[in-house]
Structure 1
Amino acid sequence: MSETSPPPAASPADSEVERPLRRLARMYAESRVALFGLALLLVIVLAALLAPWLAPQNPYDLMQLDMLDGRLPPGSASGDGRLTYLLGTDEQGRDMLSAILYGLRISVGVGVVATLMALAIGMALGLAAGYFGGRFDAVLMRIADIQLSFPSILVAMILLALFGQGIDKIVIALVAAQWAYYARTTRSAALVEGRKEYIEAARLLGLSTPRILFRHLLPNCLPPLIVVAALQVAAAIALEATLSFLGLGLPVTEPSLGLLIANGFQYLYSGRYWISVFPGVALLLLILAINLVADQLRDVLNPRLQSQ
């Protein structure tokens, strides 16, 4: 009679992955604030992704707009009676709910793409600086120190003044303004991890430098990077909104939440608050949700900072 073999024991790597996941699940089960942040972020992201199907109209299709419906208050019906503007309309007769959903797509997309690009560049440079050290490390950190001594918005404004408007231009400006955060964070983590025994053992075994960097060193540098990246997504969205509000970011043909706020700002004192306030509320909720989720990630990935 054959005996059933016992299930294989979990590897240390598996347990290292499972522990943060268990802490994250327990945190969301016990904290209403954490659950609210995650649910709010999921709702906003899904609304942005499904904007073409959820929005009552395409606010940037001129065939669907009617100037006679301009600046209608929330709850008003269109002139032909076929559409109810739940959040009102702007000066061009665009449905504000539709404009916000489409604006969310651009704001979230620009923030995520810029963050991922800045993360990749800063992570690669910081990893090399922390592992190899020497002159490359010294030069890179002096460049990062110089950039970080200037406000991010100033760096982005200078680049946009040179490049002009456009989604690609503002992504480049945001990457240039944020890569130094990731480079310094990665370098600090790499300096600590690079002195540990498992890195020395990998060198003694004759493993190639790329394998040591990306197979052994990088995974142990990721936890602080994930937290910084989550926070920087919110920072990138807020920075893009500020630049667009000032007229330096996206063109009027590709409006984000910041440009929607700017379009309605002139009507605030005339009582038509909805044109600017509702996009502002959407931007506030988006940044709040990202920060709440990032705060929980910080607690999970660094147990010493867990809230008691």
Structure 2
Amino acid sequence: MHDNDAPLRRFARHFFSSRIATTGFVLLLVIMLAALFAPWLSPQNPYDLAHLDVMDSRLPPGQTSVDGQLTFLLGTDEQGRDMLSAILYGIRISVMVGVASTAIALAIGLTLGLLAGYAGGRTESLIMRVADIQLSFPPILIALILLALTGQGVGKIIIALVAVQWAYYARTARSAALVERKKEYIDAAIVLGLSPARIMLRHLLPNCLPPLIVIAALQVASAISLEATLSFLGLGLPVTEPSLGLLIANGFQYLMSGKYWISFFPGIALLLTVVAINLVADQLRDVLNPRLQLQ
């Protein structure tokens, strides 16, 4: 029992040795819990028309609703929605899109990268040339083209983000697999008659995962930012499935009139989410460094 717990304790000791990383982890945990429990934490369901009153439109932070039953701590938008509630729901959608697209892209890229690194030859050339072509274009351009062809929606933007991300994992997994492929334990597994699938899953995969975990953590933040950009441009999520980017876009036209809170607070929420994920990912990069594991 103690031997099995030792790696976990060592990981936790290294990870929480940094105050910045600990702060990022706590902030990220709060954000994730807020996203998970948004329906229960929100003072109002901001997308239920029965809960909205046009007379509450564009109220500044701290104002009370016309019926006196609700205080809008962060103000309201042009439709009378409570900004705090809208942000909690927006975080939920943004985080879901970022995590889902990253997980799917990781699975696809890891599979193709391991296959390319182990098989070599034409298989490797084909997979890597496709990855090179994909990486030669700006990610936002690929996403814009795909969304212009397919339209808006959570599922469609996840597909667009997967198309943008998978090549990063494929190249990293292929590089790690090439290093491991030359080692003696892989030759021994081949001599013993193990199938290629078993060798890749039981031997190559565990040794290729650490760098991919770090990239995945960083790509979650990147996916959230890209989705916010696309939604801000009107090509991401529809108004019925709001994200932080869409909330920022809704208030952009009111910035010059002094109604800053409609865009400002969703922007702060987006910034804190991306910063927290990057702080955790940066510490993961150090903790998963093989040289640190030997200490």
TM-score by length of 1: 0.92
Q: State the partner residue of 1:44.
A: 31
1:199 to 186, 206, 211: 186
**What's the CA shift for 1:27?**
3.2
What pairs with 1:130-279 in structure 2 (closer than 5 Å)? Answer: 130-279=117-266
Give the Å deviation of 1:56.
Answer: 0.2
The Cα shift of 1:209 comes to: 1.5
Match of 1:71 among 55, 58, 63: 58
Instruction: Work out whether residues 15 and 287 of structure 2, in 8 Å CA contact, stay in contact via their aligned partners in 1.
Output: no
Partner residue of 2:82 out of 75, 84, 95: 95
| Residue in 2 that maps onto 1:4 | none
Root-mean-square deviation over aligned CA pairs: 1.5
Which of 108, 119, 126 aligns to 1:121? It is 108
Equivalent AA in structure 2 for residue 148 of structure 1 = L
Q: Percent identity?
A: 75
Q: By how many angstroms is 1:303 displaced?
A: 4.7
Distance 1:90 1:133 in 2: 56
Larger radius of gyration: 1
Q: Larger deviation: 134-143 or 261-270?
A: 134-143
The residue aligned with 1:299 is: 286
Which TM-score applies when normalising by structure 2?
Answer: 0.96
> Offset at 1:23?
3.9
Quick one: distance in 2 between partners of 1:236 and 1:305?
29
Is the 1:23–1:300 contact (alpha carbons within 8 Å) kept by the matching residues of 2? no
Q: Please give the per-residue CA displacement for 1:235-257, whole angstroms capped at 9, x wherever unaligned.
A: 00000000000000000110100
Aligned to 2:130, the other structure's residue is in SS state helix
One-letter code aligned to 2:203: H
- Closer/same/farther in 2, CA of residues 142 and 242 from structure 1, 3 Å limit: same
In 2, are the aligned partners of 1:125 and 1:183 still within 8 Å (CA)? yes
> Relative to structure 2, which stretch is displaced further, 136-145 or 73-82?
136-145
Q: Which runs of 5+ in 2 are unaligned?
A: none
Unaligned residue ranges in structure 1 (runs of 5+) = 1-6
Q: Is the 8 A contact 1:27 1:34 kept in 2?
A: no
1:261 CA displacement:
0.2
User: How many angstroms apart in 2 are the aligned matches of 1:176 and 1:131?
Assistant: 23
Distance 1:114 1:279 in 2: 22
Conserved 8 A contact 1:124-1:183: yes
In the alignment, is the contact (CA less than 8 A) between 1:100 and 1:257 conserved in 2? yes
What amino acid is aligned across from residue 188 of structure 2 in structure 1? A
User: Is the CA contact 1:241–1:258 (under 8 Å) kept in the aligned structure 2?
Assistant: yes
